Chain A
């Protein structure tokens, strides 16, 4: 019944909805709900040419269950491999959580614009994550570590509701030994956990502890819209340049290429697909495009 691969348009490009096979190599448990998955491309040709920018996402395809858009959370320097941090939240992600190393999944992408890392060069770097927001920002952080000489001081604020929900907290803790020598400041905070021994409070409440110079600092934020609103307010107050503030948005991106319409938002002068024009937007995109922070 199944036919061999055919091209709908014989002399055309590849079908934009087609997937590449990737093998799941390892699964790490991060929290009760989140796991980290390491994938490698099966086709060596694709493995060698496939690359991505921090902040971009892929569509993970589980034939029979569907596709989900997931941010890439690994370093862009490792050719042919990538990691995804996936929360068990819906039908497809639940299925992905059941996967064992060795199984294959389909991958499309990478999609989206990603963080403008070149724009951050020669600047300090402030990364602020809330909840799952650490997933895409880990990619940014690893990029900065891989290209350490290109950046000034780095502060990373990682926040979550509860201690056990902090993503990559151990990985960040492990950096503490070299943090001072490398001019990296790590701030991990929880908002609702009274049992926790570390810092308390929301991310913006810890902006007084950063080691970056507001006037020359790239800012990358990832978290729920509520966090963006409070961060914007605080950052502008502290003299951070709005042109250097970037956030990444979550939408139900079915296609990833600006066709299916689910992530369409905007108004007359600023009309965007979160999947194609984003998911990373700067401060002025956000304030001129209604619906982004709703």
Chain B
């Protein structure tokens, strides 16, 4: 892997330079407590040391609401609708979110590619950044605290700047275009990187790995935990909206006023909604809140072994943004016996 060093005073020049590669999005403060990816005009507004953005970066590749087709009822014809807004650059993506995107890729690109998602991913440049955990983070036990692919550039913080890992051809091109911004990585930088890693590791409130959680969680079918926690749940779907790997969607047809044409639109769905498991004849495969609540824990923790050990990357959003204060991390720790 190729490494270059970016000194701190040049970081804003570097970000400014990214604008040439596409529409730039980066974390910005949107309220006292929240940071979110926003379009960047003034690079000085970019936030570097944040714990998590409100929304995961998946929203740029898999839109909350997206027109798939326009249709003509009389012709029974579907016309592909794809708003190509050109390339985008996402600056400041954390490792867990990059793993999240790779999990999304495993569903939307591997096997049968979803053309809408695939095209946007091809048009996206991901610039990662290192981070330190807060009390909600548990990416370490999810093996998502470090990424070796899925980014174009990855900035690892050292006291006087960033050590940049180059992860793709596009990444090489970005570096090569502005050679005067970068310097060689020194031995001191390497030492600092190791120090940073050590510090990061020590800050996590849970240690080890949760590879066996998938088995423990399914064996725990009857524990009181499910009743206790699902009782608090409002079924609002905040956890699934803010999850970097939740991807359920619904498809709806919206007619135009002429009554003949219209749009076929896909909208994010949530397994926490009662309608998610509903089939014809009013039968519901997940009729109770408990079954819906448990379904999310199963989906996030027991399914998927393609990219990491689970669909959950430990970003902590569902705990952070739950209006009912359901502590997902703590619940998992309870199941895993780590409390």
Contacts and interface: CB of A to CB of B under 8 A. Distances in A.
Given A7-B80, A19-B78, A64 B250 contact: no
Given A63-B72, A63-B264, A266-B303, A5 B79 contact: yes
Interface string A262-291: 101011100100000000000000000011
B42 interface: no
A16 B111 CA distance: 11
Given A2-B261, A258-B112, 15 more contacts: A6-B82, A7-B80, A8-B80, A8-B82, A8-B116, A9-B119, A19-B78, A63-B262, A63-B264, A67-B251, A106-B76, A259-B247, A266-B302, A267-B303, A294-B291
Contact of A261 (B116, B249, B281): B249
A264 B303 contact: yes
B118 interface: yes
A267 B280 contact: no
A63 B68 CA distance: 12
B253 A63 contact: yes
Interface in B253-285: 253, 255, 261-262, 264, 269, 271, 276-281, 285
The SS class assigned to the B binding surface is mixed
A142 interface: no
B118 A294 contact: no
B113 A260 contact: no
Q: Chain B contact residues (Cβ within 8 angstroms of A): what range? A: 35 or more
5 contacts: A8-B116, A63-B73, A252-B276, A259-B249, A262-B276
A259 B68 contact: no
A65 interface: yes
B279 A250 contact: yes
B210 to A, nearest CB: 12
Contact of A255 (B81, B221, B251, B299): B251
Interface residues of A, number: 49
Interface string A52-89: 00000000010111110000000000000000000101
A268 B214 contact: yes
A248 B210 CA distance: 34
B193 interface: no
A15 B80 contact: yes
A259 B109 CA distance: 10
Interface in A2-33: 2-9, 12-13, 15-19, 21
Nearest to A256: B112
A267 to B, nearest CB: 4
